[in-house]
A = this chain, B = another copy of it.
């Protein structure tokens, strides 16, 4: 039995109900201190009574900004949760909301298409979460008035980028092996098209070559344990294989299981390192040493980068978030 007069209650309605001008209502919302307390109370009472809610569209139209950051998901993988979590938290902290769309697969998976769609939405800047290669990566130009940050390990000619230091993480793991007397490191990759996998492989290769070691042929996996197991069976037969770097923990676990099934011990016979440090969730007393990336931190950095660039959309920076080696017992020190 409340007011059914109009669909939405406007500031004007509140103003009339409170016996003040529209502008005063506006002030109560935006600069409360400039309104006398008695007036303010009256307005608040009227807002409450009428169920007033400020109109986002009108406000944004006048202000020329939205208070929203766009997020484009090109790909949704496990690590993405933590990253989104970081983005969302950082956004909340800075008073921004997120506007999200998904552009997976299909012809539409280009940066240009995503940017076109985003720029029709309420956003002051945007973040692209790109985990695979897209056709127009190099040729893409972001809208000049919309700060754009791409989460990708590749460098972009005009946009800011943020990434885990996947390459550095892989290098770190290799050096960890080599510093403990291992003469070579085998590598089990993830899916071919994954940029993460490619970067991890690149880092592995670089680390070996730096030491003058010829990298052996990498084994192709698909992120899942079964492919790691298959790789492990092959590796078990290589007498020179004392160290294996797997592109994620699941495959590393597969490798370890295969080695054991072949009568080899980890770490006594073969040492193993994985990525993502998530095996402990699934395996009790897990011994797997693993390179962990701080996805949450990544998201936070990406958001901060966008917000920092709102005033200067054409600025460009490159941020790398380093990984951490979580040491457990899966690596043997051959020097001992």
Contacts and interface: CB of A to CB of B under 8 A. Distances in A.
A57 interface: yes
Q: Indicate the size class of the contact surface on chain A.
A: 35 or more
Contacts of A55: 61
Interface string A281-321: 11111100000000000000000000000000000000000
Count identical subunits in the complex. 2
Which secondary structure dominates chain A's binding surface? mixed
B120 A54 contact: yes
A73 interface: yes
A120 B219 CA distance: 52
Interface string A92-112: 100001111111100000000
Interface stretch (A15-23, A167-175, A250-258): A250-258
Nearest to A254: B284
Nearest to A116: B53
| A122, A228, A279, A282 interface centre (most CB from chain B within 10 Å) | A282
B284 A122 contact: no
Interface of A: 7-8, 51, 53-58, 60-61, 64, 66, 68, 71, 73, 76-78, 80-82, 84-85, 88-89, 91-92, 97-104, 119-122, 143-145, 223-226, 228-229, 249-250, 253-254, 257-258, 279-286
